[in-house]
Amino acid sequence: MEEAEMCEDSGNVHWLGGPGSLQPATVGAEMAAISSLHGKFVVPAGFCLPMTFCPRWDDTAGLEAVLRAAVSRFPRGDAGSAPSLRVRASVGLDQRAPRMRLPRAPSFHNVGEDALVEAVMESAAPFLSARRRGQVEPGCVPSRVVVVVQRFERPRAWISASFDPEAAGRVVVLRAGWGLREDDDVADLLVIDGATRAVVGGQVADKRRMTIDAEGGGVRETEVQAELRETPCLDGRTAREIASRTLELVSVLPTPVRLELELTKGRLHLLGVPSLNAVTES
């Protein structure tokens, strides 16, 4: 399937890179920024589903019909196999609304088509619940919360890149680990000078455990191979490339900038720009 066809919006589904996904008022600032970065980064194919797509999120039959129609547009794998998917929620409130602390939504990796409805519902559930409890003003959350469904590919390493122009030293800070990112990951640290792109600090962690995709769906934790435990996840060339791309975005995105990436099949995949979320996570 051609990329242009993949990016054609359909009803309440807004494909990353398509016209609907470029509108912050429709998909939030983070997803609009990711859509605008096609070409600068590899962005895994996917679509956004705003929480306003139907009046009742407990209409699972309607939700399933929308999702199946969208997933059918993903390219099929070998022997016509359905793609494995990644599901998460992206949140951004109107800048005029007060910043609020909302519960963190779960993310799901390596999701099969049969489990997609449940994953989408669980990603959205914390924000629906918060709205019902009156933690947010009516009208704010539905217009800025989307569930993002993207094609999942097994990553070799995860990477977090951050740059704060107000911080001393003006450096890009990189953290990286093997496999998929988890909240309590032990990670390598690299500090890149923003002016020279030279590595000016950091350390290699003893990475004993990693999270990977599991056979049949979902993820599992496993031990890192002995020879990789104290091997850097990033070489200097890749680290400098990430730093350069992070600094390029400073002029077009609100600062400070934080990017979430993965190294997959030797290419950098952009997954998120969490610094653009207007909600403070708990």
pLDDT band at 4 (very low <50, low <70, confident <90, very high): very low
Which bin fits 266, alpha (ψ -120 to 50), beta or left (φ > 0)?
left
Range name among 32-36, 38-42, 81-85, 136-140 with the lowest pLDDT average:
136-140
pLDDT band at 119 (very low <50, low <70, confident <90, very high): very high
Q: Is the pLDDT assigned to residue 11 strictly greater than 70?
A: no
Range name among 53-62, 91-100, 200-209 with the lowest pLDDT average:
91-100
**The two structure tokens encoding residue 4:** 């242009």
At residue 257, the 3 state secondary structure works out as strand
Q: Which amino acid is at 97?
A: A
**The two structure tokens encoding residue 174:** 């990189």
| pLDDT value, residue 9 | 55
CA distance 145 to 134: 16
Range name among 21-30, 91-100, 164-173, 217-226 with the lowest pLDDT average:
91-100
| pLDDT value, residue 142 | 41
Better pLDDT: 105 or 143: 105
CB neighbours (10 Å) of residue 246? 22
Q: Is the pLDDT assigned to residue 129 strictly greater than 80?
A: no
Q: How many Cα atoms within 13 Å fall on the side-chain side of residue 36? A: 14
Q: Which amino acid is at 118?
A: E
DSSP 188-233: EEEEEETTT--EEEEE-----EEEEEPTTSSEEEEEPPGGGTTS-S
**Whole-number CA gyration radius for the chain:** 19
Across residues 105-131, what is the average pLDDT? Answer: 85
Better pLDDT: 6 or 233: 233
DSSP 164-176: -TTSTT-EEEEEE
For 3-151, the fitting CATH number among 1.10.3720, 3.40.720, 3.30.2450, 3.30.1490 is 3.30.1490
Across residues 260-280, what is the average pLDDT? Answer: 84
DSSP 78-95: GGGPPPPEEEEEEE---T
Tokens 């950091």, residue located: 202
CB neighbours (10 Å) of residue 168? 6
**Phi, psi angles (nearest 5°) of residue 82:** -70, 150
Q: Which residues pair with 38 in a beta bridge?
A: 41
| pLDDT value, residue 152 | 95
Ordered by start, the domain boundaries in the chain are: 3-151, 157-264
Topology of domain 157-264, CATH: D-amino Acid Aminotransferase; Chain A, domain 1 (3.30.470)
Number of helices (H), then strands (E), belonging to the chain: the values are 5, 15
Across residues 131-143, what is the average pLDDT? Answer: 46
CA distance 192 to 181: 21
Q: Which residues pair with 31 in a beta bridge?
A: none
| Percent of the chain surpassing pLDDT 90 | 46
Across residues 63-91, what is the average pLDDT? Answer: 84
Q: What is the DSSP letter of 75?
A: P
Closest by CA to 266, choosing from 240, 235, 228, 244, is 235
Question: Are 152 and 83 contacting, i.e. CB atoms less than 8 angstroms apart?
Answer: yes
Task: Give pLDDT tens digits for 40-60.
Answer: 789 999 999 887 654 455 677
Across residues 62-85, what is the average pLDDT? Answer: 83
